[in-house]
A and B are shown apart, each in its own frame.
Chain A
Amino acid sequence: MSVSPDALVEIAEDVVAAEPQDSGARPEIGNPRLRKEDRRLITGRTKWTDNIVLPGMLHLAMVRSPHAHAKIVSIDASAAKDAPNVVDVVTAADFPDGMGVCANAWPITPDQVTPDHLPMAVDRVACAGEIVAAVVARSAAEARDAAELVDVEYEELPAVFDAQEAMTDQILAHPDKGTNKCAFWKLDSAEAGTGGNVDEAIAKAREDGIVIEREYRQQRLVPAFMEPRSTVVDPTGEQITMWSATQIPHILRFLIAATTGIPESKVRVIAPDVGGGFGGKLQTTPEEFVTLAVARRLAKPVKYTETRSESLVSAHHGRDQYQKLTLAATKDGAVTGLKVELLANLGAYVAIVGGGVPVLGAWMFNAIYKFPAYQFNCQTVLTNTTWVDAYRGAGRPEATYGIERLMDELAAEVGVDPLVIREKNWITHEEFPFTSVAGMVYDSGNYEVATARAKELFDYDALRAEQKQRRESQDPVQLGIGVSTFTEMCGLAPSRVLGSLSYGAGGWESASIRMLPTGKVEVITGTSPHGQGHETAWSQIVADRLGVPFEDVEVLHGDTQVAYKGLDTYGSRSLVVGGEAIVRAADKVIEKAKGFAAHLLEANADDLEFASGRYTVKGTDQGVGITDVALATFASHNYPEGIEPGIDADATFDPDNFSFPHGTHLCAMEVDTETGETTMRKYVCVDDIGHIINPLIVEGQVHGGLVQGIAQALWEEAVFDDNGTLVTGSFVDYTLPTAADTISFVTENTTSPSTTNTLGTKGVGEAGTIASTPAVVNAIVDALRPLGIHDIRMPCTPERVWKAIQSAGAHDGAATAEVAPHFHDDAPTNADPGTTGEGSPQ
């Protein structure tokens, strides 16, 4: 019953063919097209980095530290060097001029403690998985075999893993730094002039109002993209070419030049098709620098592809915060102030934007609400764990979780429905644009409409009635309803704002449009899709704008020699920033072609109008198509004086502001009080992301985002043991959900067009992840609140839920358990090796 690759392609083509495609329909914007990328991405018949094979190409395997913190005493590579087909074994000592640096591009304060992050450890490792040597062989298998033969002697050093423990500075992650404290960053509304004094608000609420104080834990997560990271470097020829499974080819090229001394003009970086990232590939990695250095040293093409086990421990992690929150309110639930104290674990090194990710919460904890006073404090610390950086939502999910959990707590304290408490505090639609207490200007929104629609789709009142009935009958399966009314800031980012935050780059995006003589259109974008469907959506925008068929538009991206200028894809920025750049490039093409069209029509340019791909002379039926103009400029046999013979155009767009999507998410969870098992009953979300280019892509983004957010609530956590070994080091123990674990979501949209781009669009890539986590936990807590339970630590495992129920009254749901991976190397030995069956782990 095996299925051949060809058969798979046929199946995929059948699926694609079965879907009605109305290619002649106008407008393209709003058309729920299947993605033009789907066929090659679903079948895998495409240019993944690992599929690239070059003549004479060598393969790398990394030797990584098993210890979280250790001195490297010696490295004996002699046996590995003698292994079959091994070409070289390298350590940091082989590169006296260095191999580049994994740079931190966003130091959040001038005095941030930033340990050097070299691609290969020199004399000390600061986390498990750090590279200490690399083996180069003629095949990947031989490199892997020989890597086992490299004998590294370590002297273990005391190690610190937990952020709270790190704050004591008793054990130092980097002894030479003298402290684990990395940076402290603060926003105070009284000091900024955007609001009142939060301590006064809290003091007043203690006298005659309500004060809610909670500590929440944002557990550490693994981005777990589908395609493992892979890099190929070809140093032959005039330029060095690097293919890499990255979200950020342009930034990578810049940082290679900036940290290795190779002239930027001698480096070409290509991100071919990339299989997911979720922020996990928003990084310049040790593996990329090591592959580059080895290829240059040997003057041969070299490939490195990580194993999944390597990926889980060495690709950056996400989240890992402690949140201490204090909310002040009047007795009837009007919030008067919010104080946030964050402690963020950055891991062993400050990653490219790792220090800044928790700081993004500064503008998000106040969410959709009108808080009179606000203070945000963020302390980052270094530990001997895997580095931490952006993961889908990056700072905004953490903040949204904190405030949306608190609003439910406030509702419970006041004794009203959680939607009532939100309505009492939210910004009304008449108040946009609204300047928040954190100093952000929200462009547009309508929380009332989205919430009303979500309630209707959810059948909110009926579920509340069922909940009441189950409570009264003491049903062993209780029902909880969770609310999350979120907003987020996306469309990173106005360059001036980034500059004011000492971020190391701008936030603009670039686009070019090339009008080919055969009537085809090439769109070059500086965004770098890794599953988002930019090729489809960008084609839809251009097809509408230029009046050309969707099929005639080709989108090129991810190659710094083709898309020479760009800032890549992350932070739900590609459409709202990159899409607007495309619109502007298209408008320039239309304007440039107009002079040509006027000449061809022997008319005055001022008398021409452009619609549906044609210039016509007003009031006549005389006209010429824009693609005919393109052909005429190709020949250029006949063109007016003073006009250059070309209509191609470039545009760079720098937004004035972020865009602020929002939505109301409602979740019903059943909680089996006998076992602690939680089961999702219903999930409804109504998101407002402004105008939508492709509703099908949007729905896919929302569904995927929801599952990742739900997974944080219920399933995922990266856990280290007392030695700093990642216990959840495989997908047996890191419990990623599959489709079988989810239900059918109800998703809809309302439309409040953004005012920060002419398309009126807002980002959607992270919305589902940001909103869903608190909705789920709020629902579980809501089910159990009559028992006196007001929190369950994430992930809300059945054990944690059950233990909370058992000790209802005073608990945090935290479970302590010895931990070991399912497949572990000290598992008891099968007494009889060579027996039937599948053998044992030893």
Chain B
Amino acid sequence: MIPAAFEYVAPTTVADALAALAEGGDEAKVLAGGQSLLPILRMRLNAPETVVDLGRIEALRGIREDGDALVIGAMTTYADLLASDLVREHAALVHAAIAEVADPQIRHRGTIGGALVHADPAGDVGAPVLALDGELVITGADGERTVAAADFFEDLFTTAVGDGELLTAVRIPKHTGWGAAYEKFVRVAHQWSIVAVAATVRMDGDTIAEAKIGLTNMGSTPLRAKAVESALAGSAATATAVGAAAASAAEGTTPPSDLNGDADYRRHLATVLTRRAVLAAAGR
């Protein structure tokens, strides 16, 4: 498990990181926690000439309020997010999902930005960020641009982050007071999601006023279960009503088949997990 040799650069500012990336060109890779990159390097599935480690850029860490949004630095670790009262209060869905990521060791190394740009559809942060209508702040030589989560995930392992650019921050609109639940289905605790459902709801008494639902590993990118969301708006938060709405959770999805389950099984799981996640988010 020895990677091929590479140059290691550890800049302390975003500007220096962008410069290092520009210099490295096509042969540079970004290290943003390393929980996926390092296995890939060690198994020699990839051999970049330069690895640019963002771990020493303090400006990319931390969680702050910015009006009606939370701004999360791309290099904020899962563990930092889990410990954050701001996240728990205003983005409870992110908290719920991240609590289910792998194991404590990985949660102390892995970062939200690294996971989002790696864009593994079985990863646990894409669906909640998508469900919460997050926005991704991308920084390049020409400055910053902001991309909606819905436009960010392009394909398997492919995002809107372009050549020589970095994801620098994640903006999550505050969902204060929304209930949230992340139903993750795995065979062993440290596994990638076979399927997971991220659900957050705004209640009006016993009625679901609004629901947002993200699906993990039901296609080449995180997906929104829009049909379920529409059916739930104004619906009673009963098992029957939510179950009926959740039945369409797998509509339009293209889940993979692997050792953990084929596509049909995943479609079935999506409906069950959606029902459970919505009911849990509604406090039922």
Contacts and interface: CB of A to CB of B under 8 A. Distances in A.
Interface stretch (B64-72, B184-192, B205-213): B184-192
Interface in A712-733: 714-715, 717, 719, 727-728, 730, 732-733
B269 A675 contact: yes
Contact of B188 (A148, A675, A741, A835): A741
B200 to A, nearest CB: 22
A828 B192 contact: no
Contacts of B21: 834
A819 interface: yes
Contacts of B133: none
A838 B37 contact: yes
Contacts of B192: 732, 822
Interface of A: 1, 140-141, 144-145, 148, 307-309, 674-675, 677, 714-715, 717, 719, 727-728, 730, 732-733, 735-738, 740-741, 797-799, 802-803, 815-820, 822-825, 827-842
Contact of A735 (B1, B115, B188): B188
A834 B24 contact: yes
Contacts of B168: 836
Interface string B103-120: 100001000011111110
A833 B29 contact: yes
Q: Name A's interface SS.
A: loop
Contact of B113 (A733, A818, A837): A837
A603 B22 CA distance: 93
A803 B266 CA distance: 12
Nearest to A825: B45
Contacts of B234: none
The 9 closest A-B pairs by CB, nearest first: A837-B117, A740-B189, A838-B37, A836-B166, A840-B157, A835-B161, A839-B29, A799-B261, A817-B262
A717 B4 CA distance: 30
Contacts of A1: 108
Contacts of B31: 838
Given A715-B187, A740-B189, A841-B157, A835 B117 contact: yes
A307 to B, nearest CB: 4
B43 interface: yes
Contacts of B260: 797, 799
Given A715-B187, A738-B188, A837 B30 contact: yes
Contacts of B262: 799, 815-818
Nearest to B275: A674
Contact of B190 (A308, A738, A830): A738
Most central of A717, A823, A830 by chain B CB within 10 Å: A830
A838 B34 contact: yes
A714 B44 CA distance: 31
B62 interface: no
A836 B1 contact: no
Nearest to B190: A738
A798 B163 contact: no
Nearest to B42: A307
A675 to B, nearest CB: 6
19 contacts: A144-B2, A145-B4, A674-B272, A741-B189, A797-B260, A799-B265, A815-B265, A818-B258, A820-B258, A828-B155, A830-B158, A831-B158, A832-B165, A836-B114, A836-B167, A836-B168, A837-B117, A837-B118, A837-B159
Contacts of B157: 827-830, 840-841
A249 to B, nearest CB: 26
Contacts of A798: 185, 187, 261
B88 to A, nearest CB: 21
B268 A833 contact: no
B259 A834 contact: no
Contacts of A737: 188
Contacts of A842: 45-46
Interface in B218-264: 220, 257-262
Interface string B18-36: 0001001111111111111
A840 B265 contact: no
A141 B159 contact: no
B265 A802 contact: yes
B188 A736 contact: yes
Most central of A140, A730, A797, A833 by chain B CB within 10 Å: A833
B169 to A, nearest CB: 11
Contact of A677 (B4, B45, B108, B185): B185
Interface in B100-140: 103, 108, 113-119, 122
Contact of A838 (B24, B36, B45, B269): B36
A833 B189 contact: no
A679 to B, nearest CB: 11
Contacts of A738: 103, 188-190
Interface in B27-83: 27-37, 39-40, 42-46, 48, 54, 74
B11 interface: no
A834 B28 contact: yes
Given A819-B259, A836-B74, A841 B45 contact: yes
A830 B114 CA distance: 14
B162 interface: yes
B187 A740 contact: no
Contacts of B190: 738, 740
A738 B272 CA distance: 26
B156 interface: yes
A834 B158 contact: no
